[in-house]
């Protein structure tokens, strides 16, 4: 009997629960809980089997503890927002529940996501004999597993990694974000950063770009961003000399973002508005389309993967590992667009491997610290097949 509590009923939460329902032999009993219970009930009504739903404010440890004590899950899948990571980890410790998430903690009043707050839980999870798996989405998540796989099977030394994230889809709106707009815009508007020869090098926001020829999507302008998986990968991939992260944005997206930034709508500093304080970015979120609502008319593909450069058997080796997903296919299967799908499937797979005992351990883990093989096998089975090809040239 594996009871699982899923927290968060947004775009990603919906995919996670659909995918868990496809594996009833592992996920025998599921509860979906979120701030707004009606969203959980709406998702539950679309599922092929019955699940429990509940209301919970995941910022509140006591509420979480009360819910966990009542439902008694063995694992909690956190697909709410990064602001809730620490309260949910705290409740898991109090209730003896294992933990999994897809994004690292970020304080609400500072756009600075870092692992230090969650890594600080290492000893407490270890002592409790519990496992916390961090970042089991696509990036972070699958990209970390691609790195672990390359290190285990394809390279003696990996010198450089370039993570390349392309969304060549079209949702028909002039401007929308593919996952939570507040989290997404905080990520994109901060300074870029990459790691080279032991140091972090900062760039201005979206200052550096390349043209990259993506499989199934063609040549796309890709911008250097700071992305959270790099923080753990520089510690765990031995011999690494450089790691960078690139993401595609259309000219139209950049044009809108520029205007929104110039007029202050992406700011997280509260302002006075008609006698009350509002955060401009939260107001903007209320104006933008809900990412889940983009799914029905989304067409085109995503291509996310890693280009590795290094040595094998004394010779230079360059390899590209990637997944292609199709927005319309994802919609057909689970009613979601590909960004939610490519995040929700790895969350289900990480949870499944923990419940099956294939990924085991006491403490706090990043994805590349675990054996990549069962995860890579599961990606092929559960909807995110991957390809490995030789790569030629430089980025």
Interacting residue ranges for ligand NDP, rule: CB under 6 A: 8-13, 34-36, 39, 56-59, 79-82, 84, 102-103, 135, 137-141, 179-180, 183, 291-292, 339, 343
Q: Please give the distance of CA 246 from its chain centroid, rounded to a whole number.
A: 15
| 3-class SS of residue 366 | strand
| CA 204/CA 330 separation, integer angstroms | 35
Q: Which of 8, 34, 6, 39 is nearest to 21 (CA)?
A: 6
CB of 141 to ligand NDP, least distance (A): 5
| CA 385/CA 378 separation, integer angstroms | 9
Closer by beta carbon to ligand NDP, 24 or else 107:
107
Closer by beta carbon to ligand NDP, 42 or else 263:
42
CB of 10 to ligand NDP, least distance (A): 2
CB of 43 to ligand NDP, least distance (A): 9
Closer by beta carbon to ligand NDP, 10 or else 310:
10
CB of 191 to ligand NDP, least distance (A): 19
Contact 161, 375 (CB under 8 A): no
CB of 56 to ligand NDP, least distance (A): 6
350-371 core/surface letters (b: 16 or more CB in 10 A; e: else): bbbbbbeeebebebbbbbbbbe
Contact 54, 67 (CB under 8 A): yes
Sign (positive/negative) of CA torsion 207, 163, 369, 107? positive
CB of 3 to ligand NDP, least distance (A): 19
Closer by beta carbon to ligand NDP, 97 or else 128:
97
Q: Tell me which residue has its CB nearest to ligand NDP.
A: 10
Rounded to the nearest 10 degrees, how much is the dihedral formed by the CA atoms of 121, 239, 244, 390?
-120
Closer by beta carbon to ligand NDP, 282 or else 387:
282
The single-letter DSSP state of residue 150 is I
Closer by beta carbon to ligand NDP, 55 or else 157:
55
């Amino acid at each position: 009997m594996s009871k699982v509590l899923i927290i968060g009923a947004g775009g990603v939460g919906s995919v996670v629960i659909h995918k868990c329902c496809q594996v009833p032999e592992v996920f025998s009993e599921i509860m979906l809980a979120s701030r707004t219970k009606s969203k959980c009930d709406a998702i539950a009504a679309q599922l092929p089997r019955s699940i429990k739903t509940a209301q919970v404010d995941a910022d509140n440890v006591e509420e979480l503890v009360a819910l966990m004590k009542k439902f008694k899950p063995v694992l909690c899948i956190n697909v709410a927002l990064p602001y809730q990571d620490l309260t949910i980890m705290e409740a898991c410790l109090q209730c003896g529940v294992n933990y999994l998430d897809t994004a690292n903690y970020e304080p609400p009043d500072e756009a600075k996501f870092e692992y230090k707050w969650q890594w600080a839980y290492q000893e407490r999870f270890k002592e409790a004999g519990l496992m916390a798996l961090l970042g089991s989405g696509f990036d972070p998540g699958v990209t970390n597993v691609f790195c672990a796989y390359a290190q285990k099977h394809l390279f003696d030394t990996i010198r450089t990694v370039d993570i390349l994230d392309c969304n060549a889809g079209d949702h028909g709106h002039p401007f929308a974000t593919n996952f939570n707009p507040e989290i997404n815009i905080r990520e994109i508007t901060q300074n870029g950063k990459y790691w080279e020869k032991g140091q972090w090098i900062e760039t201005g926001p979206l200052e550096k770009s390349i043209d990259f020829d993506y499989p199934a999507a063609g040549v796309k302008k890709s911008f250097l961003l700071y992305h959270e998986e790099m923080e753990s990968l520089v510690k765990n991939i031995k011999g690494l000399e450089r790691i960078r992260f690139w993401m595609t944005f259309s000219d139209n997206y950049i044009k809108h973002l520029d205007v929104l930034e110039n007029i202050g709508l992406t700011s997280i500093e509260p302002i006075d508005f008609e006698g009350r304080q509002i955060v401009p970015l939260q107001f903007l979120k209320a104006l933008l389309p809900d990412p889940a609502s983009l799914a029905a008319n989304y067409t085109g593909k995503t291509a996310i993967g890693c280009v590795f450069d290094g040595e094998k058997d004394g010779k230079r080796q360059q390899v590209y590992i990637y997944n292609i997903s199709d927005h319309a296919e994802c919609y057909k299967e689970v009613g979601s667009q590909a960004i939610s799908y490519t995040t929700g499937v790895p969350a289900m797979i990480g949870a499944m491997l923990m419940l099956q005992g294939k990924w085991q351990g006491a403490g706090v883990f990043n994805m590349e610290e675990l054996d990549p093989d069962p995860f890579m096998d599961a990606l092929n089975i559960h909807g995110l097949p991957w390809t490995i090809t030789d790569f030629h040239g430089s980025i």
